[in-house]
Structure 1
Amino acid sequence: MTNRIPIASPVRTAAIVNRYYVHAKKNLGQNFLVDLDAVQGIVRAAGVQAGDQVIEVGPGIGSLTEQLLLAGGKVAAYEVDQTLPEILANELPEKINGQDRDECFKLIMKDVLKADFHADLDGFFDLTKPVKVVANLPYYITTPIIFNLLEADLDFTSLTLMMQKEVAERLAAQPGSKAYGPLSIAVQTRMSVDLALEVGHGSFMPQPKVDSAVVVLRPLKEQVEVGDRKQFDRVVKLCFAQRRKTLANNLKALVPAKEDREKLLAGLDLDPRQRPEQLAIADFIKISRAINEMNK
């Protein structure tokens, strides 16, 4: 491969934008990442090495894609913007680490929320081996994509995701924090959460109004047993329905009678006057199970 300016550099991105008359589409949540240090920081956080199978969501003009490929990753990228295949075909290197691009890169023109991973990746990935996900997620659809990936029937070793800093803080939040809530609990009962790096709004073109952060999610070695997942998620959401109200008040929808609520919480050694953000995940599991027992 000849020496070339990385796509992630401001000058190369500007040249691509001008050459193809392309612009970041607000309705797709696009912002071009023009900070090579940040892009390489994402690749390092993901630990991408030669031979790793990597799913990318929203490759854009290829800033992150290029660095994933140069690190040795075999990349399958999901994209919905029909203006981008031509750019990726022209701008990504034709030879990468001695391989033809087609051997290590596959563009899948499909909404990742509608992905059939096994069908889409068959013949390109060896799905008996683990997969990493690395993505610069659109702000407006971050949470649905995370849960779509968590529920996919694939062997993920990690999800390394850049998102709005506020959402990243909610994912990692601990009891007692204002950011702690249903999203924190839903993710932390499935994955470990590590905040890897922060990326300021000045690293993008055009610049968003908020900063971003990169989060690394890894499957828990020991799964948290929450019982009936739908019931557990419902209990958690109702407990946080009105954050300023007490636990006892928020449980009215599930346990209408005051005496029953007080008896239930006393039996679990929980103070009914507590706010939901003060409870540990184990407490919500106990509440969910106790309500299930009451309803039998």
Structure 2
Amino acid sequence: MAELLGPNDVRNLAEGLNTAPTKKWGQNFVVDAGTVRRIVRIAGVTADDHVVEVGPGLGSLTLALLETGARVTAVEIDPVLAAALAQTVAERAPEFAGNLTVIGADAMKVDALPEPPTALVANLPYNVSVPVILHFLETFESLERILVMVQSEVADRLAAPPGSRTYGIPSAKAAWYCSVRRAGDVGRAVFWPVPRVDSALVLMQRREVPETTVSREQVWAVIDASFAHRRKGLRGSLAELAGTNAKAEEALIALGIEPLTRGEALGIADFVRIAEELARREAAGSATLEQ
């Protein structure tokens, strides 16, 4: 078993590095060993996994991941923390040190890893959590599951079903790739510094993306437009994509969707159908002009 980090260990490590959590990178370090082991357990990490961890910080979660026998690639944007992580692991979990790779980089720019990852497990900075999740899902098709600790409000948005108050762009785009559910709450006291917001765990299981004749970008353009003005019906929201309000209405009626329906009422399959219908009509219009 690895020697996990407690509150004093985290503070002593930070002091030794002459560093502290910064708002710049949204750092809140986990100081509770029970919490990181809970995260690893819910994520179902085993020795067969290659786990990518974004924002390992001082290594609290990294150590818990490594003690499963999994291979871990830690992506850390803070150069001081990235340089120190391997030494911390060597001292506290020497038998697992060979399973760790550290990449000092912005997670949003990572497009290659030592081997295809099977899981993403991380305590994500609140301000970049959704973009990071979507980037890794798009970039690494080998990812089977994701377990992230995020702001509670973000967790609600990611896991929200169509028709709920918190359903929106993150919910729809996450549903393109995964089934998503909240996997538990996390108390503020397990962090240093203590955040002003609540946190929660989100578990995402990869599934086949919807079969479609259009690109992901075309579907996401429909999603973005549908939520750009939440008080508008789809007829108005999709007018720019369709060309006019009237053309948007015609496309929606053809699909059996009430034109004044709002985006939050639709699931990912509906957004795919709309994107396909708009593309079909655009192609038909272009063909007519060429004749």
State the TM-score, normalizing by the size of structure 2. 0.88
Residue equivalent to 2:137 = 150
Cα distance in 2 between the residues matched to 1:278 and 1:287:
13
Q: Please give the per-residue CA displacement for 1:18-70, whole angstroms capped at 9, x wherever unaligned.
A: 33332001101111111222211110111112242111111111100111111
Q: Matched residue of 2:21: which SS? A: coil
CA offset at residue 86 of structure 1?
5.2
Q: Matched residue of 1:177: which SS? A: coil
Q: Quick check: 1:54–1:133 contact (8 Å CA) kept in 2?
A: yes
Q: Matched residue of 1:72: which SS? A: coil
Residue equivalent to 1:99 = 95
**What pairs up with 1:90-169 in 2 under 5 angstroms?**
90-94=87-91, 96=93, 99=95, 101=97, 103-118=98-113, 121=114, 125=115, 127=116, 131-169=118-156
Q: Please give the per-residue CA displacement for 1:248-282, whole angstroms capped at 9, x wherever unaligned.
A: 22122123444433332222111122222112222
Residue equivalent to 2:29 = 32
Q: Quick check: 2:156–2:166 contact (8 Å CA) kept in 1?
A: yes
Q: Matched residue of 2:79: which SS? A: coil
Cα distance in 2 between the residues matched to 1:158 and 1:277:
25
Residue 43 of structure 1 aligns to which amino acid in structure 2?
V
Residue equivalent to 1:11 = 8
Q: How much is the aligned-residue C-alpha RMSD, in angstroms? A: 2.2
Q: Quick check: 1:168–1:213 contact (8 Å CA) kept in 2?
A: yes
Which residues of structure 2 form unaligned runs of 5+? 284-291
2:53 corresponds, among 24, 36, 56, to 56
Rate the CA distance shift 1:154–1:237 in 2: closer, same or farther, 3 A: closer
Instruction: Name the % identity.
Output: 38
Residue equivalent to 1:82 = 79
Q: Matched residue of 1:99: which SS? A: helix
Cα distance in 1 between the residues matched to 2:266 and 2:78:
42
Q: Matched residue of 1:171: which SS? A: helix
Residue equivalent to 1:183 = 170
Q: Quick check: 1:94–1:100 contact (8 Å CA) kept in 2?
A: no
Residue 172 of structure 1 aligns to which amino acid in structure 2?
A
Q: Matched residue of 1:144: which SS? A: helix
CA offset at residue 245 of structure 1?
1.4
2:202 corresponds, among 206, 212, 215, to 215
2:268 corresponds, among 281, 287, 291, to 281
Residue equivalent to 2:189 = 202
Cα distance in 1 between the residues matched to 2:246 and 2:57:
56
Cα distance in 1 between the residues matched to 2:221 and 2:83:
45
Rate the CA distance shift 1:257–1:151 in 2: closer, same or farther, 3 A: closer
Q: Quick check: 2:151–2:199 contact (8 Å CA) kept in 1?
A: yes
Residue 145 of structure 1 aligns to which amino acid in structure 2?
V
State the TM-score, normalizing by the size of structure 1. 0.87
Q: Matched residue of 1:135: which SS? A: strand
Which residues of structure 1 form unaligned runs of 5+? none
Q: Quick check: 2:210–2:269 contact (8 Å CA) kept in 1?
A: no
Cα distance in 1 between the residues matched to 2:83 and 2:282:
58
Q: Matched residue of 2:275: which SS? A: helix
